[in-house]
Chains A and B, each alone.
Chain A
Amino acid sequence: MTRYLLRRAVWTALVVWAVLTLAFIVNNVVPSDPARMVAGAQARPRDVDRVREQLGLSQPIAVQYGRFMRRLVHFSTARRGDASGPHGACATLGWLHLDFGKSYQRRRPVVDIIGERLPRTVMLALAAMLVQVVVGVGLGMLAAAKRGSLIDHASVGASLLGVSAPTFLLGLLLQFVLAHKLRLLPLDGYGSTAAEHLACVVLPALTLGVAGAAYYTRLVRDELISVMKLDHVRTAIAKGMSPARVWFRHALRNALVPLITVLGLDLGALVGGAIVTETLFRWPGIGALSVSALLDRDGPVILATVVVTSTAIVLSNVLVDASYALLDPRVKR
């Protein structure tokens, strides 16, 4: 197991590095001028050149890439120090330094921006996950237990419709009904106190959660129906075990393996930033940051969001694979 995890860790680092390098190349071949964006449309050519020099954009791409990679992960005994110092833009963990440079537009260390936004995205992701699992597993079990009934057909139909609605449409609809008409929840934003954060997370979490729940309902239903046909379940029923115990202990546990797979991958994707939902509800997380960075051509921030997104996805893949070994005794590495 340890060797397996070690090998996966090496692959994870390689994949993230490849994605980062690709993103660096894509970002640099795009014919746009970040220096012009920073200096402003009215700036004199001389000033644009000065900004370009300051940002280090006048050097060849290979040199810029070298500098970026050298700074990204380095070891130093130095403390972070003040913002203009040599390690002013680093996130430090002992001697290990992580440095994405400074944002062109926001003039702040990128690690600070990410550090501020990542917890919010994680909060949204966890809230959405909660909706997905509770609604999805609940409806799925109900549909499987009452197979062929009206509830079953309704939940299958609703789940297919839920998968077919684009997130932005679902979000608009929820926003219109719950925030605009009924005035139950804030329209968008993040709020400034913990209570406000909680009120604000409900709508985007519902938006993300409903689409996901639709998929989970289907998955749990189909899986439970096929598990309920297996011999060990029939034996359990025949020996007089209570239905609740059969469902939860013998059926649901078996249906958990495919659920965990999808769940892990979804969590990875959500932590990487739900771009549309975050933009729609003005939730200041990683997804909204990546869109604004792309529109501003803010190179360091773009690359940092790419790293966060790809790391989240790749790590969730590894976690899913590792969890098989824990959940399913048949899987042996």
Chain B
Amino acid sequence: MIDPRATRRFTRHRGAVLGVALVVALVAFALVGPSIAARSAYESDFVSGATAQDTPVGPSAAHWLGTDRLFRDELARLAIGARISLVIAFAATLIATVLGALVGVIAGYFEGSGGLKVPMVTLAGLAVSVAVTIAGHSNFALAIGAASLLAGYAALRFAAGSRAAASLRVNADTALMRLVDVGLSFPFLLLVMALGAALDRTSVATILLTLGLTGWLGTARVVRARTLQVRALDFVVASRALGQSTWRILLGHILPNVAGPLIVISTASVAQMILAESVLSYLGVGISPPTPTWGHMLFEGQDLYLTAPWMLAAPAGAIVTAVFGFNLVGEGLRDALDPKT
């Protein structure tokens, strides 16, 4: 299943090995970090965590990475933040990859296929009917809508080949890809804030779902482009000619052949999701405090960077390390799976 040459290329890639090491270290930190940190991430330590001037203390034996402005242990908070970041990034990537692969493969496979023929007459009529509804005459609009449907049917049935039958083809590909267009130009922040407001309090699940349900659009485009190449290959044409069902062709032939780029994209996507989560919590629309997130810790640290530089350095270092690690792995995978460049 896995090409041994690809494995060798990956293990000889110095960047990839460094990336794997960073990722493993990060996962280990997220798993055991909260228990090694001697202090709780949520409790203020007024005894050894605060100075006489009521400012947070720097790295010390009691607090390895110092404390934040409420004298909570920075290391423990960083570890919880790592857990949250990784859970969100992995789960959101899983959602985005599955959705993106499905949509991309279906759209690519059905590109140029028959689909639904919508006569221009109908389209124009429906547009007028929408306009009339907006103007406030709904009965009139209903009549126009019905008439345009009838006119469209007549155009297709009786005027085949003539100008009146001019129509727009809507198949799975155009429908899905236009949906992707809309999604890609929809302001992502509005959606997150709306969700946050609707649910009153933003939780891990909210952010994870939002990132996952908006993250598949780019994946779908790449998978579609790749599917267009694969479906023209002889073995796909052959299995179609032999009468294999469309689902079997999609899952058994197309999907395995788009797996390479898909793995590369999803690794890079983990890095993107970590970044996106940190941006959201930095802007104050992410997971609500007191839950520690890297982005929010950085936000708190930026005002105190002169008196307490560790409050800025710790989350900043964590974010860059995590994203860099996943990007390196993605890079190594790309070189291993697609050795052309």
> A-side binding surface: helix, strand, loop or mixed?
helix
Does A38 sit at the interface, judged by CB under 8 A? no
Does A279 sit at the interface, judged by CB under 8 A? yes
Q: Which residues of A contact B327 (CB under 8 A)?
A: 160, 163-164
Q: Which residues of B contact A23 (CB under 8 A)?
A: 186-187, 190
Q: Which residues of B contact A19 (CB under 8 A)?
A: 182, 185-186
Q: Which of B25-33, B45-53, B276-284 contacts A (4 or more CB under 8 A)?
A: B276-284
Q: Which residues of B contact A313 (CB under 8 A)?
A: 184-185
* B319 touching A169, Cβ below 8 Å: yes
Chain B CB count within 10 A is highest, among A160, A161, A222, for: A160
* A160 touching B278, Cβ below 8 Å: no
Does A121 sit at the interface, judged by CB under 8 A? no
Q: Which residues of B contact A275 (CB under 8 A)?
A: 189, 283
Does B316 sit at the interface, judged by CB under 8 A? yes
> B-side binding surface: helix, strand, loop or mixed?
helix
Q: Which of A24-32, A48-56, A193-201 contacts B (4 or more CB under 8 A)?
A: A24-32
Chain B CB count within 10 A is highest, among A11, A29, A172, A294, for: A294
**Which residues of B147-196 are within 8 A (CB) of A?**
178, 181-182, 184-187, 189-191, 193-194
State in angstroms the CA–CA spacing of A161 and B237 once bound together: 43
Q: Which residues of A contact B194 (CB under 8 A)?
A: 26-27, 29-30
Cβ 8 A contact of A11, one of B178, B197, B319, B340: B178
State in angstroms the CA–CA spacing of A65 and B178 once bound together: 23
Does B336 sit at the interface, judged by CB under 8 A? no
* A302 touching B190, Cβ below 8 Å: yes
Number of residues in B with C-beta < 8 Å to the partner? Answer: 39
* B197 touching A32, Cβ below 8 Å: yes
Q: What 0/1 readout, one digit per residue, does chain A (202-227) give for beta carbons within 8 Å of chain B?
A: 00000000000000000000100110
Chain A CB count within 10 A is highest, among B184, B185, B328, B340, for: B185
**Which residues of A157-188 are within 8 A (CB) of B?**
157, 160-161, 163-169, 172, 176
Q: What 0/1 readout, one digit per residue, does chain B (318-332) give for beta carbons within 8 Å of chain A?
A: 011001100110010
* A66 touching B305, Cβ below 8 Å: no
Does B7 sit at the interface, judged by CB under 8 A? no
State in angstroms the CA–CA spacing of A66 and B184 once bound together: 25
* A317 touching B181, Cβ below 8 Å: yes
Give chain A nearest CB distance to B272 CB in angstroms: 10
State in angstroms the CA–CA spacing of A297 and B297 once bound together: 26
* B187 touching A69, Cβ below 8 Å: no
Q: Which residues of B contact A176 (CB under 8 A)?
A: 305
* B181 touching A309, Cβ below 8 Å: no
State in angstroms the CA–CA spacing of A22 and B302 once bound together: 36
State in angstroms the CA–CA spacing of A69 and B136 once bound together: 12
Does A46 sit at the interface, judged by CB under 8 A? no
* A30-B197 contact, Cβ under 8 Å, with A15-B178, A15-B182, A163-B327: yes
* B283 touching A309, Cβ below 8 Å: no
Cβ 8 A contact of B279, one of A163, A276, A310: A276
* A306 touching B187, Cβ below 8 Å: yes
Q: Which residues of B contact A157 (CB under 8 A)?
A: 15
Question: Smallest CB-CB separation from A315: which chain B residue?
Answer: B185
Does B1 sit at the interface, judged by CB under 8 A? no
Does A92 sit at the interface, judged by CB under 8 A? no
Q: Which residues of B contact A314 (CB under 8 A)?
A: 181, 185
Cβ 8 A contact of B135, one of A30, A70, A309: A70
* A226 touching B324, Cβ below 8 Å: no
Question: Smallest CB-CB separation from A12: which chain B residue?
Answer: B181
Q: Which residues of A contact B331 (CB under 8 A)?
A: 160
State in angstroms the CA–CA spacing of A236 and B165 once bound together: 53
Q: Which residues of B contact A172 (CB under 8 A)?
A: 302, 312
* A160 touching B182, Cβ below 8 Å: no
* B271 touching A290, Cβ below 8 Å: no
Q: Which residues of B contact A18 (CB under 8 A)?
A: 182
**Which residues of A6-61 are within 8 A (CB) of B?**
11, 14-16, 18-19, 22-23, 26-27, 29-32
Give chain B nearest CB distance to A266 CB in angstroms: 13
Does B245 sit at the interface, judged by CB under 8 A? no
Question: Smallest CB-CB separation from B323: which chain A residue?
Answer: A164
Q: What 0/1 readout, one digit per residue, does chain B (262-279) give for beta carbons within 8 Å of chain A?
A: 000000000100010011
Q: Which residues of A contact B282 (CB under 8 A)?
A: 166, 168, 276
* A31-B198 contact, Cβ under 8 Å, with A166-B275, A166-B278, A294-B189: yes
Chain B CB count within 10 A is highest, among A69, A165, A168, for: A168
Does B232 sit at the interface, judged by CB under 8 A? no
Does B134 sit at the interface, judged by CB under 8 A? yes
Does A291 sit at the interface, judged by CB under 8 A? yes
Instruction: Spell out A's residues near B (CB within 8 Å).
Output: 11, 14-16, 18-19, 22-23, 26-27, 29-32, 65-66, 69-70, 157, 160-161, 163-169, 172, 176, 222, 225-226, 272, 275-276, 279, 290-291, 294, 302, 305-306, 309-310, 313-314, 317
Q: Jot down 17 A-B pairs with beta carbons below 8 A, ordered by A.
A: A22-B182, A27-B190, A160-B15, A163-B327, A164-B320, A165-B320, A166-B282, A166-B323, A168-B298, A169-B298, A225-B341, A276-B283, A279-B283, A290-B187, A310-B186, A314-B181, A317-B181
